[in-house]
Structure formats: structure tokens, C-alpha cells
Amino acid sequence: MPRILLIEDDQNVRMLMEHVLLHENYRVETTDTVEHGQELIEAGQYDLILADGRLPDGTGMMIAEQAKQRGIPTLIVTGYAFELMNADLGRFDFLLKPVRPDELLQAVQRVLAGKQP
């Protein structure tokens, strides 16, 4: 099963998303900061990264840039898409909060299906 890194600072949202993904047999690791997320990306092998748009020490776009260099697709989950630069909207995959479980799973499957081997 695909291995997913979930970076979300809201504990309730993180627990809900993790539960939904684990229920579908995805392997999930979680953290709540850009710094720790970047460390995990460097140390691990992930098939997908789910990153909150706004984190205490940075943004999901920072995570996505690092992940892109390693060939890992990133799905940015945010409630602030309307505040993003137009250039960012075209470079990243987004999922808007609040996230329903079925929307999360569909987005994860879509991004994983588009991943290049």
C-alpha cells in the first residue's frame, strides 16, 4: 500500500485524515511542522505527501517544492486557496477544507494515479 506523509498542525483534522487513510489501508506518518516534515521527507520513502497550506513554521508550498525535487507528488489541503498567488494555483494540487472523507480519498487516488513511476 502507498506510504503517505501527512503534515497538518490542527490535531483534530490530522487525526481525522489519518483515520480515514488508515481505514483504507494506506500507511501514514504524521507531523505538524514544516521543519519536521522536511526531515521526514529526507529520511523516508513516500508515495504522496498531504500538507496543510498554512503551518506554524511555513507553508505547504514549501513542502511541495522539496517533495517535487525528490519526485514525490504533494496534495496541499487548505482553507486559504483564495489567498494564494495565481502562480501557486497552477503549480500544485489542492484540496479545499473542510475536507470530507470521500473527497480526501478521491483526491489521494487521483494524485497517486497521476504519479510517474
**Sequence spans of domains, the chain:** 8-113
The tens digit of pLDDT for each residue in 54-68 reads 999 998 989 999 999
> 8-113 falls under which CATH superfamily?
Response regulator (3.40.50.2300)
Chain-centroid distance of CA 108 in Å reads: 9
Question: Mean of the pLDDT values across residues 41-54?
Answer: 94
Alpha-carbon gap, residue 54 to 1, rounded angstroms: 28
Q: Tell me how far apart the alpha carbons of residues 99 and 101 are, in angstroms, rounded to a whole number.
A: 6
Q: Where are the beta strands (DSSP E) in 13-104?
A: 27-31, 48-52, 54-55, 58-59, 74-78, 93-96
Cα 58 to chain centroid, rounded: 14
For residue 92, what pLDDT is reported?
74
Residue 42 in contact with residue 65, Cβ under 8 Å? no
DSSP state of 99: P
Return phi, psi of residue 53, to 5°: -65, -40
pLDDT at residue number 82: 53
Q: Quick one: pLDDT band at residue 116, thresholds 50, 70, 90?
A: very low
pLDDT in tens, 53-109: 899 999 898 999 999 999 999 999 987 655 554 545 456 788 888 899 999 999 999
